[in-house]
Structure 1
Amino acid sequence: MISPTPSTARGYPQSGSLDVLFVSYGGGHIQAILPVAQALHDAGKNICIFALTTAAAVVEKSGLPYFTYADLPQAREQAVIATGQRLAAQMPANNVLPAAETQAYLGINYLDMVARLGPEETDQAWENGGRQHFFPLPTMIRVLENLAPRLIMATNSPRSEQAAIDAAGTVGIPALCLVDMFALQEVAWLKKPGFGRQLFVFDESVRQMLINHGRPAEDIVVTGNPAFDSLYDPATIAAGQRLRDDRGWGQDGRISLLYASSPEPEKHPFTGEPANPALPRDLEYHLRELIDADPQYELIIRRHPSEDQAIATGERVYASPRSDDINALVHAADVVIVIGSTVGLQGYLAGTPVLSVECSVFSKDAPFGDFGMSTAVEDFDAIAVALKEIRTGRRDVEGQRPRTAVSRILAEVEHYLH
């Protein structure tokens, strides 16, 4: 066994040096992966994270070793640079990713698509869905053959993460897939025997769904989601109460409604179903009107990181900045309101009543009502009545997770690293 190194620097690892290679996009995906990576790193395992797009900034803050598309050897190839620059120029400017990272991601993925589909079909795919058609299997095979990790782990995200797990099967490296949510779209590839050695899911209902779609039961382990482990930590619960007290929420018997918004695209990225990008703000406006009309309520607005953070506050209307710990925040509220945000799941796990407004293009992907995690309504007009019927007060969640998701996953990982 190769001895682990203490380095936490960014950079492409040496071949044969890794116990575990993690592959993850940003958002909820990297939040699920990071606690496992940190625990293995702390245990002396040599790990590295292939941080995709917005995951890089999150991993950088963690201090764990990582690399990105821009660190791959082929990112310095002239064809990749030229292609990446050409494609990046066609896209709206943003300050989220460095230009070199955007160019490397686009250039490498596009040229992989050319190798898979041919130039003409690739041009057509780019014009009709762009990055949604990326599937960099050649690159992932190259990375795994070069680095030769003992094990890889990714989440259920499509494109690069899906390609990484497929590549692991091709080159004979064990792969584990951490399913962060319901996976009702991703079941199309998760159901296939051989897509990873094991799937880790957060709930028995997800396990049964995958079994019903044909995945062998022995491949699926209910572990929970590591991103939510701290919901059960007494320190997090206490932090929620402090937040409530410090902000003055819930005084004089008022009911604090936390609206955790999430962006709505022009169309569903998988199905192409048309969507309503104005939905998140329309719901926010409706909730503001509800607050104005009923003094028993107050509204806390928490927008998704990709949304405009300039939130107008007012009487009984508050803004929760990104600096607020979302796990503490769901403990601070009396009711959590979502369209399709994962905050709905966090609220449920924390024992806080959840109201899901299921009129989004993503409602079928996050069916909180169908899974018994929320009171569900299908339109704005039903919200006021549903709120009257919700019994506020926290469910007792103590003991729901006698072991953390991280500890459950580590017990499985150990089988591959002993």
Structure 2
Amino acid sequence: MLIPVIRHLSTLADFNCLVMGLTTAASQLGRCGIQSVGFSSLLRDDDVRAISHGRRLFSSLPQDGAVDPQESIAYLGLSYADLEERLGVEGAAVEYALKGRQAFLPLGPMRRACIKYAPDVIVTTISPRAEQAAILVASEMKIPSVCLIDLFARPSLKRASTQGYATRVCVISDSVKNWLIRAGRRPDEVVVTGNPVFDELFARDIKSKAVLLREKNKWQGKKVILWASQIEPERNPFSGRIGDPSLPWSVEACLKDIIRSKDDWHLVIRYHPNQGCVPTSEVDEKITISERNEPLAPLLQAVDLVVTLTSTVGLEARLLGKPLITVDMSVYSDDTPYAKLGFSVGIDDLSELESAMSRLLDGCIGPNSLSELPRIGMATDSVVQQILKLSNEGA
């Protein structure tokens, strides 16, 4: 969501855009040609204890992930040291044992970043932990901040409803703005911008690129289904609901079985950037693995149906008028209620998946609630204007 904003800001002569790409974001930014710094840039000579914590915690993680080991050690170590500063040694141990990395709120490292880099404006998303800490530190240090909210998710909205949580909150629709105002935010603090990541969906050449993609992959005459995968945690950090980390792989296995029984169906699997280690899929002419650097917009335009848990890819699919199935078995399903909003056909049992796919692929599009979908086309410009306005006010 921030990549289009970063690119736009980088073209402005009077603007220096410093990007913090934390954990898996660094590799995603790198693939887009955007340089970034991480927690390793915040380490000091006296961080012996933090580095020790980082090495200890890193040793328990899979060692073939997408994050640079030194960056992982710095992130884990500085975040855990901050947790100890806030809760004490015993309190931190108990909290981390209960919540894992969800226990982090690295206020100390973000204070270091603000002191070191002296930003005029801080821009981030509504994500928890480090990004949440950035917004809180910005308020504490009187630095103007912009927070982008990409969904209708209630836990995120609750956090953003707190007075002072970002100088400006950029949201995707009027309904989200109205909810925040009812919750106590001032109308001038909340701006309907849309989501910058959706702007590319309506580029002039998307449809022609989609046609070429179908030809390249020999999908002519096929009904192409996209499975937009994602990580499923063991526990919802907001509600405490217990999850099943194997759920994405169960859905994938079910989809593969269904596809193999249909002569004219083809499955495309798109793994989430945070799924660092994915199982090696066997070679199968009925299955395509979408590479992480493959542009999403032409792919969405090229497919006939999208299946996901709660990914924003589902919302993008609906913006393009594509039918959507959500597997409402995720710990985040209640927080991102696509089916209840009328955006998707929701299923809560994998035995229902094949029949739902058949109905939609046979032409019964089903959900068509477009009134609550976000504004599209000019979101990047709208967000940038809010950043420039705050920058000029603070000059």
Q: Normalising by structure 1, what TM-score?
A: 0.84
Is 1:40 the counterpart of 2:9? The answer is yes
Please tell me whether the aligned partners of residues 201 and 221 of structure 1 are also in contact (alpha carbons under 8 angstroms): yes
SS in 2 for 1:322: coil
In the other structure, the counterpart of 1:84 is 54
Q: CA deviation at 1:359?
A: 1.8
More RCO (CA 8 Å, sep 6+)? 2
Q: CA offsets per residue over residues 151-209 of structure 1, 9 Å max, x none?
A: 11111011111111111111111011011223322223211011001111123333333
Distance 1:141 1:283 in 2: 42
In the other structure, the counterpart of 2:344 is 374
The equivalences for 1:44-193 within 5 A come to 44=13, 45-74=15-44, 77-193=47-163
Q: 1:75 to 1:262 in 2, by over 3 A?
A: farther
Q: Which amino acid aligns with 1:413?
A: I
In the other structure, the counterpart of 2:268 is 300
Is 1:324 the counterpart of 2:294? The answer is yes
SS in 1 for 2:165: coil
Q: CA deviation at 1:336?
A: 0.8
Q: Which amino acid aligns with 1:359?
A: M
1:276 is aligned, of 234, 238, 244, to: 244
Q: Which amino acid aligns with 1:259?
A: W
1:267 is aligned, of 225, 231, 235, to: 235
Deviates more, 1:328-337 or 1:289-298: 289-298
Q: CA offsets per residue over residues 261-308 of structure 1, 9 Å max, x none?
A: 223222223333222223222222322333344434332222334151
In the other structure, the counterpart of 1:20 is none
Distance 1:216 1:76 in 2: 43
Count of paired positions:
382
Is 1:194 the counterpart of 2:168? The answer is no
Deviates more, 1:71-80 or 1:48-57: 71-80
Structure 1 unaligned spans of 5+: 1-31
Deviates more, 1:377-386 or 1:330-339: 377-386
Q: Which amino acid aligns with 2:125?
A: T
SS in 2 for 1:187: helix
Distance 1:123 1:208 in 2: 40
Q: CA deviation at 1:322?
A: 2.6
In the other structure, the counterpart of 1:408 is 382
Q: CA deviation at 1:405?
A: 1.0
Please tell me whether the aligned partners of residues 275 and 361 of structure 1 are also in contact (alpha carbons under 8 angstroms): yes
Please tell me whether the aligned partners of residues 303 and 309 of structure 1 are also in contact (alpha carbons under 8 angstroms): no
SS in 1 for 2:188: helix
Q: 1:104 to 1:315 in 2, by over 3 A?
A: closer
Q: 1:233 to 1:370 in 2, by over 3 A?
A: same
Identity of aligned residues (%): 32
Distance 2:351 2:51 in 1: 52
Q: CA RMSD in A?
A: 2.5
Q: CA offsets per residue over residues 354-385 of structure 1, 9 Å max, x none?
A: 11121222211221112222222222233333
Structure 2 unaligned spans of 5+: none
Q: 1:138 to 1:352 in 2, by over 3 A?
A: same
